[in-house]
Amino acid sequence: MKYLEDIGKYFAMLGQVFKKPQKGRVFYESLLKEIEELGLKSLGIVMFISFFIGGVIALQTALNLDSPFIPKSLIGFAAKRSIILEFAPTFCSIILAGKVGSYITSSIGSMRVTEQIDALDVMGINSISFLVLPKVIATVFFYPFLIALAMILGIFGGWVAGVLSGLFTATDYIIGIQTTFNPFLVQYAMIKTLVFAFLIATVPSFHGYYVKGGSIAVGKASTQAVVWTTVLIVVVNYILTEMLLT
């Protein structure tokens, strides 16, 4: 029953998120702060992991294509598809769920246990909208740029890995990238990114907003938020794949 109660509270929270937003200037300042905290400060880890994972994907593909009858251009094709379809939108979102989700839960949870949220409610401020809406907009609008950058760096990392290892040539890799490019696959990845970004912003916010107890409870809530966000990303990834690609 607790899970059903939590689901109901989550959707009730979403209903309050988009009601009675703050004044334009206050909201704008909060939005810029969230873009920096949730987006810009995640650039480094996304760029680093994307580059090297792209190289690993290309090397693993090359090492498993040892037949002389299989063209080397298939390495670039397989790396491109793997990075665009799953690695960039899904794997990077899971990484962001761990990094950003724990930050969101701990920051909102700390405000809850120190009664700052109660003070906002007493002043007549919609505390849910004040705290959550800037995070939702920041992630939904900024994360597609992060994922697009992850795609580019992942493909580039595969090219660098091939040049340095000598397992395949740069020409074969580029030919594979250009083979049968389907723009809908990028659209599919961006649709997933938008849904994942919404989950990354709202699920940790829910756990932080409704936390009870002290600092230990905030730590437990942060762990639960990361776990549940990751689980939901995986489940929603399957559902979207069934809906959009089959």
Using one digit for the tens of pLDDT, what is the confidence trace for 39-69?
888 899 999 999 999 999 988 888 887 777 7
Within-domain flag for 2: no
Domain presence at residue 4 = no
Domain residue limits at 107: 23-241
Residue 53's CB: how many other CB atoms inside 10 A?
A: 21
What is residue 160's predicted lDDT score, i.e. its pLDDT?
92
What pLDDT score does 61 carry? Answer: 87
pLDDT of residue 1: 57
Sign of CA dihedral 189, 190, 195, 201: positive
Whether the pLDDT of residue 105 is over 60: the answer is yes
| 7 assigned to some structural domain | no
Q: Mean pLDDT across the chain, nearest whole number?
A: 88
Residue 17 lies in a domain: no
Average pLDDT of 99-110? 91
d(CA 153, CA 222): 30
Is residue 84 assigned to a domain?
yes
**Residue 174, Cβ neighbours under 10 Å: how many?**
15
Under 8 Å between Cβ of 154 and 51: yes
- Whole-angstrom Cα distance, residue 211 to residue 156? 43
For residue 10, tell me if it sits in a domain: no
User: For residue 126, how many other CB atoms are within 10 A of its CB?
Assistant: 18
Confidence of residue 154 (pLDDT cuts 50, 70, 90): very high
Give the count of domains, the chain.
Answer: 1
CA gyration radius for the chain?
21
For 27-54, give the DSSP string: HHHHHHHHIIIIIGGGHHHHHHHHHHHH
- Nearest Cα to Cα of residue 230 among 87, 143, 101: 101
Which one-letter amino acid corresponds to residue 93?
S
pLDDT at 147 over 90: yes
**Average pLDDT, integer, range 115-133:** 85
pTM: 0.90
pLDDT confidence of residue 189: 93
Residue 170 lies in a domain: yes
Banded model confidence at residue 151, pLDDT cuts 50, 70, 90:
very high
Residue 16 and residue 128 in contact, taking contact as beta carbons nearer than 8 Å: yes
User: Residue 50: inside a domain, yes or no?
Assistant: yes
Distance CA 172, CA 78 (A): 12
pLDDT in tens, 166-195: 888 888 888 888 888 888 889 999 999 999
CB-CB contact of 99 with 229 (8 Å): no
H helices of the chain, where?
A: 2-17, 24-34, 43-64, 73-82, 92-113, 116-122, 127-165, 170-178, 183-209, 215-245
